[in-house]
């Protein structure tokens, strides 16, 4: 860990680290209206499934931001649709496209989440701010902005594929939103950036131990939805979710500062699996 | 920052800053009842859309307090209608006008918010109270009221357009309600007015950095709805919402005193877009 | 303020102040089921409105405990009915009378509140307890009860009209329930009666400043509903609600001890306004 | 108060007081589906009422655990059914019996509560534990169990009628569930048994003052429902509920340790009153 | 208790104890849609019951992970289905199989829970970590992993039947989810493993006292559902649930660190009991 970990920068320095943003994400959770569905004529059911399968198949093949289907366990929903897109407008189109499906009459929306893939640059931000501080460059001056933009571009180019990834091809999905605490003595937003960096670094180490087993996508939702971040974990063995999240719960960033929303657990479906998911 | 920032005025001095009020606002969120809508004959659907488009078009052209349509992302709703009006009576009329639309049978109300555009005059209040204190004018005497009224009028004239603005013509809307904390050591309502002014000033500086990118409308809802304030942010790039709200979360007013309600994210629709939003 | 403000009476003295009770109150909030209503034949709609208008008109003319109609703003409901009655049995009858209306099939109950008009006698209680203490009269003895009953009767006679008032004829209604905190260091129920009296006195001063503009009715709901008190504010200008409640939020009783439930804002309707409120 | 009030027994002594259990209780709250009910043919309505009245009449006459009907005030429900039974199996039968009624199609379950009449033996437990401690009898040995069983039997015989009471014949019912706090400094479950006994004794004194006016039935629901205890208060004047619960809120057991759930207020109905409660 | 109870291992040692996992569990809670069910033709009802009874009968006879039916008390649901399976995929199949039943049209999902039978190895973990520490074997090296795997296998073999048990054949079920606190001073995740072991040991002692009367199955749900653990208690006398959970509430692990979700209480049904549970 570098030596400036706990320096407090002048008060006019930004408190938020630089972040890079990628795909916009919409999670949609639906419960099947079984009674109404079963009451539908078989031919209409078949047609609705065929139409939906084709539509989701096309969305799954999109080059630049795809959609994927999941079967949820439990009463929170039967079907989850995850859309990765280039913009909120494209998310809106995806939402409308799902709404237009005949199948949609039998899908009751139970939940959703709107976010944007986000990578927080704690290390780079601290290094850059340190340099700008030493050069005497003041925040939000033209010089400052130029430096920030240059660094941000450099970083973005390095990790472009992590910002605009495909939806990982693993069998299980664990999704949950979360906040950092702002209460009492455990107030994340009153920590120095160096301290937050240290905690996120430690937190990241836990994640890295599971690198081969879990693909993790973090998205930011401040200003978009009710929690600050969304976490999508993808794995081929769902027990790994439990091990990873349990282990993380002991690191200081989680033990002291994390608040968790609802957890959604789901199994990947191919569009062609819709027929059996809706079998009567 | 002026030198009297932390003076504690005598106990009979008002603790609340002067505020100016403008348009009354009603946010209405609706989910489309898709199954029922699709079951409607096409000609009736067309007629309902035509009627609604015309009605919202007329509301959008009102000179003195207009209405605007937004397409929400996620399950919290599909359509948001925002009404700016001169009075609560006019808001009531707007609500009834929406309720009268044939389309309304297919709009399930999921949420709403009632508030009034509000501008808090911390600087002016402190300066005026300081002057009245030095002049020995006692709170709530006739002299006092005359001074308050004069100051309020002066301020209102200066910022009239900010009190009765059009609905900003930007593509994205982020709306959320919020409170100031009254718990434990973080009790906003136990701070001196000077301290609150200092915190709101610092808070405002963050907003001002985004002045070109975000149009912000603050409305007060104490006594009208479940939170104390409503915040509407309008921008042409939704990522700016995330950056702005994230950055603000670190300032002392937010880190220590803000409690946030649900966040709504939506994309501007023209009344003529209703047809595609309701396409089956 | 009298000199015994902070005396702690012996532990067997009552901690609760004497209270006077008046009308029983039932607030009923309903959302209009628009699709079902519009689907009803016009003649049946007309008949339902005529029946309801007549029924509410009769309830509005009751001599001894009336009912009034309000149009709510927002999704919490479209119609609020407030019943003032002599007893819970009469409230039950009022509830059943509303339920019997044909219109009731199109009114979905969204909320309600049960309470009893209550006036807390902090000043009189302290003065009386002080006197009884000095006289050496022990709590709950026959002598004690006689004194309490005498004082209560005296007080009741003085303020009878405030206990059994008509529903104020002002245009706007703001209703909300509230609690006093019992958590951590801010525990209302651990304060001495003298301290509570002082805080309520200060709190009352704020209300009195708005006496001409706002008619306030406080009702007690401990044992009847989920919060401890209900507050009904009636005014001809709804902005006054915001100013009053905001100003009160800074007094110590609110800043330190108040917890607020949902806020309902509504506009008075005459029974003859039902036709336009339900116009299709 | 006895001298061993605050003794801390050895750590292996039970922390929970002995309790006696009586009837199993099920509270069922229902809202009437008015539109569907009114749409039913009059003869079918009459038949449904006749069937339900007969069924509830029979349940009201049961010798060993009866059922009673109440009309609720407000939107939480229109009808409350309270079942006292010998076992959970009998409660299940009662629930199914209600579900089988034709009327049940028009009763939407809004809430319920499952509990068992419970009398906590703080005094007896402390005296017995003191004696066993002095005799050197170790917890959970055969000797210990024999003493406990003997004491429990003795106590049960003394208060059998309070464990298996009829449903009190008073006109008004106030029901609410509650917890003892386990948070921060106010943690009921960290107090010594002597301290809890002292607080419950003081708490009981308040109740005893209302003995003639209120019949109170406490039931335990740890392991059965979402709160730890249920409280049923029966009185002929509902104002007494407010006075009693308000007064109790100041005693230390409530001020410091009580958390209250929703409050239900209802008026006793005879089975033959169903006809008027469901009149259209 | 061994002498190394409170040793703090080096920071890179795992904070979570080793755990063993067994069956995946899905709890499904349903309310019967009585009006729709009663409206169904008797022959169709009979057929639906016959089909469901046969299906649940088959699931009850599965060799390697069975399903069981329970009748709930109260409004949270009428029917609970508990599935024990080898994998989440099998749970998904079970969920779909229930959804495919004609009866399913009359079952409204009210709740559910997803978890995995879990046994925490505090004792073994501490002993092993102690040994590895003394041997100088570093966490997550190949040597370390080999030791962990060996120990885990050893333990798993010892308790295989507890990991893959049948659903206990007792008449009553009490199910509830729970968390360990991460707030303020009572933060479970900041305790040393030795301290957690001590608390869980003490907690376990209470459970062991009820060993003959209650069969307890703990399942982990971190990453799968909204709480961290699920607790299923099975007994032949439901009063034992109250006694056990009450007694546990006083042990330090519960008094200081436990947060409880909703409690579900239910009575075992044989598949052949469905007919009477759905009798009209």
Burial of B136 (0-12, 13-18, 19+ CB in 10 A): exposed
* Residue C158 backbone dihedrals phi, psi, to 5 degrees: -65, -35
Which one from C122, C176, C210, C264 is the annotated catalytic residue?
C176
| Each residue's pLDDT expressed in tens, for chain D with a length of 280 residues | 344 445 678 888 999 999 999 999 999 999 999 999 999 999 999 999 999 999 999 999 999 999 999 999 999 999 999 999 999 999 999 999 999 999 999 999 999 999 999 999 999 999 999 999 999 999 999 999 999 999 999 999 999 999 999 999 999 999 999 999 998 788 999 999 999 999 999 999 999 999 999 999 999 999 999 999 999 999 999 999 999 999 999 999 999 999 999 999 999 999 999 999 999 9
Euclidean distance between CA atoms D19 and D124, whole angstroms: 10
pLDDT of residue E7: 63
**CB distance C249–B104 less than 8 Å?**
no
Q: Of C21, C104, C182, which has the smallest distance from its Cβ to D239's Cβ?
A: C21
Euclidean distance between CA atoms A160 and D138, whole angstroms: 69
**Token pair for E90:** 């099998």
**CB distance B140–C254 less than 8 Å?**
no
Euclidean distance between CA atoms A260 and B78, whole angstroms: 26
Of C68, E178, C15, nearest to D255 by C-alpha is C15
pLDDT of residue D9: 86
Of D278, D273, D277, D267, nearest to D70 by C-alpha is D267
Q: Angle A271-A272-A276 (CA atoms, 0-180°, nearest 5)?
A: 110
Output the CA torsion D108→D111→D115→D118 (10° steps). -120
**Token pair for E69:** 């039916």
- Residue C196's CB is within 10 A of a number of other CB atoms, namely 21
Q: Of C39, C71, C241, which has the smallest distance from its Cβ to B223's Cβ?
A: C241
For the stretch D260-276, pLDDT in tens is 999 999 999 999 999 99
Is residue B12 predicted with pLDDT exceeding 90?
no
Return the percentage of chain C with pLDDT > 90, whole number. Answer: 94
Is residue A107 predicted with pLDDT exceeding 60?
yes
Q: What is the mean pLDDT of chain C?
A: 95
- CA-based R_g, chain A, Å: 21
Q: What is the mean pLDDT of chain B?
A: 95
Asked if D274 has any chain C CB less than 8 Å from its own CB, the reply is no
**CB distance B95–C74 less than 8 Å?**
yes
D246 in catalytic set = no
pLDDT of residue C11: 86
For the stretch E185-203, pLDDT in tens is 889 999 999 999 999 999 9
pLDDT of residue C185: 80
Determine contact, residues A109/B31, Cβ cutoff 8 Å: yes
For residue C106, the chain D residues in CB contact (below 8 A) are 35
Q: Say if strands E19-32 and E79-85 run parallel, antiparallel, or are unpaired.
A: antiparallel
Sign of the alpha-carbon dihedral angle for D204, D205, D209, D211: positive
- At a CB cut-off of 8 Å and minimum separation 6, what does B126 contact? B2, B4, B5, B17, B193, B194, B197
Asked if B211 has any chain A CB less than 8 Å from its own CB, the reply is no
Distances (CA, A) of D11 to B162, B242, D187, D199, E18: 68, 54, 18, 21, 29
For the stretch A47-64, pLDDT in tens is 999 999 999 999 999 999
Q: What is the mean pLDDT of chain E?
A: 95
Q: Angle E34-E39-E44 (CA atoms, 0-180°, nearest 5)?
A: 100
Euclidean distance between CA atoms B260 and E103, whole angstroms: 43
For residue B34, the chain A residues in CB contact (below 8 A) are 99, 104-105
**Token pair for B118:** 């509000």
**Token pair for D260:** 């209250």
Of C87, C80, C190, C269, nearest to D258 by C-alpha is C190
**Token pair for E22:** 């067994």
- At a CB cut-off of 8 Å and minimum separation 6, what does A26 contact? A82, A83, A85, A91, A94, A95, A112, A113, A114, B73, B74
Euclidean distance between CA atoms C109 and C86, whole angstroms: 23
pLDDT of residue D181: 95
Contacts of B among chains (3+ CB pairs under 8 A): A, C
Euclidean distance between CA atoms A138 and A149, whole angstroms: 15
* Residue A87 backbone dihedrals phi, psi, to 5 degrees: -160, 165
For residue C39, the chain B residues in CB contact (below 8 A) are 105
For residue C51, the chain D residues in CB contact (below 8 A) are none
pLDDT of residue A8: 75
Question: How many angstroms separate the most distant Cα atoms in chain A?
Answer: 74
Q: Say if strands C214-220 and D19-32 run parallel, antiparallel, or are unpaired.
A: unpaired
Euclidean distance between CA atoms B23 and B25, whole angstroms: 6
* Residue D86 backbone dihedrals phi, psi, to 5 degrees: -75, -20
Output the CA torsion C37→C41→C42→C46 (10° steps). -70
Asked if E239 has any chain D CB less than 8 Å from its own CB, the reply is yes
Of E168, E164, E172, E155, nearest to E242 by C-alpha is E172
Q: Which of residues 109-148 of D touch C (CB under 8 A)?
A: none
Q: Say if strands E107-120 and E67-72 run parallel, antiparallel, or are unpaired.
A: unpaired
**CB distance B73–A102 less than 8 Å?**
no
3-state class percentages of chain C: helix first, strand second, coil last, to nearest 5: 45, 30, 30
Determine contact, residues E221/E177, Cβ cutoff 8 Å: yes
For the stretch C130-151, pLDDT in tens is 999 999 999 999 999 999 999 9
C245, HSE (Cβ side, Cα atoms, 13 Å): 30
Euclidean distance between CA atoms A221 and A231, whole angstroms: 10
- Residue B36's CB is within 10 A of a number of other CB atoms, namely 13
* Residue-by-residue DSSP string for chain D: --TTTTPPPPTTS-SSPPEEEEEEEEEEEEEE-HHHHHHS-HHHHHHHHHHHHHHHHHHHT-SSS-EEEEEEPSTT-SEEEEEEESSHHHHHHHHHHHHHSGGGGGEEEEEEEEEEEEEE-HHHHHHHHHHHHHHTPPTTSHHHHHHHHHHHHHHHHHHHHHHSPPPP--SEEEEEEEEE-EETTEEGGGS-HHHHHHHHHHHHHHHHHTTTTEEEEEEE-TTTSSSSEEEEEEESSTHHHHHHHHHHHTSHHHHHHEEE---EEEEEE-GGGHHHHT--
Asked if E238 has any chain A CB less than 8 Å from its own CB, the reply is no
Asked if B210 has any chain C CB less than 8 Å from its own CB, the reply is no
Determine contact, residues B242/A220, Cβ cutoff 8 Å: yes
Catalytic residues of E: 176
Burial of A96 (0-12, 13-18, 19+ CB in 10 A): middle
Is residue A258 predicted with pLDDT exceeding 50?
yes
* Residue C166 backbone dihedrals phi, psi, to 5 degrees: -70, 165
Euclidean distance between CA atoms B190 and C251, whole angstroms: 9
- At a CB cut-off of 8 Å and minimum separation 6, what does D17 contact? D120, D121, D122, D125, D126, D193, D196, D197
Asked if A232 has any chain E CB less than 8 Å from its own CB, the reply is no
pLDDT of residue D6: 53
For the stretch C199-238, pLDDT in tens is 999 999 999 999 999 999 999 999 999 999 999 999 999 9
Decide: helix, strand or coil at residue E139: coil
Euclidean distance between CA atoms A155 and A132, whole angstroms: 17
**CB distance A267–E92 less than 8 Å?**
yes
Looking at A10-166, list the stretches that DSSP marks H as alpha helix, in order from N- to C-terminal side.
Answer: 34-39, 42-60, 88-100, 122-135, 142-163
ipTM of the complex as predicted: 0.95
Asked if D93 has any chain E CB less than 8 Å from its own CB, the reply is no
- At a CB cut-off of 8 Å and minimum separation 6, what does E15 contact? A247, A250, A251, E189, E193
- Residue E122's CB is within 10 A of a number of other CB atoms, namely 19
- At a CB cut-off of 8 Å and minimum separation 6, what does D147 contact? D128, D132, D137
Determine contact, residues C30/C110, Cβ cutoff 8 Å: yes
For the stretch A110-163, pLDDT in tens is 999 999 999 999 999 999 999 999 999 999 999 999 999 999 999 999 999 999
For the stretch E233-269, pLDDT in tens is 999 999 999 999 999 999 999 999 999 999 999 999 9
E211, HSE (Cβ side, Cα atoms, 13 Å): 4
Pick the CATH number of D21-120+163-280 from 3.40.50.970, 3.40.50.150, 3.40.50.620, 3.30.70.1030: 3.30.70.1030
pLDDT of residue C5: 47
Determine contact, residues E216/E207, Cβ cutoff 8 Å: yes
**Token pair for A11:** 């008060």
pTM, full prediction:
0.96
């Amino acid at each position: 860990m570098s030596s400036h970990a706990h320096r407090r920068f002048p008060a006019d320095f930004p408190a938020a680290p630089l972040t890079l943003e990628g795909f916009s994400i919409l999670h949609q959770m639906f419960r099947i209206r079984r009674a109404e569905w079963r009451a539908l004529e078989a031919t209409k059911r078949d047609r609705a499934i065929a139409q939906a399968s084709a539509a989701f198949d096309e969305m799954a093949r999109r080059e630049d931001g795809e959609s994927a289907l999941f079967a949820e366990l439990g009463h929170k929903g039967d079907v989850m649709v995850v859309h990765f897109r280039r913009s909120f407008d494209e998310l809106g189109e995806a939402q409308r496209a799902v709404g237009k499906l005949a199948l949609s009459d039998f899908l009751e929306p139970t939940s959703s989440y709107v976010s944007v893939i986000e990578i927080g640059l704690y290390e780079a931000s601290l290094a850059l701010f340190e340099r700008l501080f030493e050069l005497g460059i003041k925040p939000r001056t033209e010089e400052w902005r130029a430096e920030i933009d240059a660094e941000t571009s450099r970083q973005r180019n390095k990790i472009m594929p992590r910002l605009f990834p495909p939806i990982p091809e693993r069998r299980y999905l664990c999704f949950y939103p979360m906040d950092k605490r702002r209460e009492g003595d455990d107030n994340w937003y009153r920590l120095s950036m160096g301290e937050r960096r240290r905690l996120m670094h430690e937190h990241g180490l836990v994640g890295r131990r599971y690198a081969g087993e879990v693909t993790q996508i973090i998205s930011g939702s401040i200003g978009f939805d009710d929690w600050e971040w969304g976490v999508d974990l993808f794995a081929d063995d769902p027990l790994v979710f439990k091990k990873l999240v349990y282990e993380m719960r002991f690191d200081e960033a989680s033990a002291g500062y994390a608040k968790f929303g609802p957890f959604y657990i789901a199994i990947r479906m191919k569009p062609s699996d819709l027929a059996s998911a809706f079998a009567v």
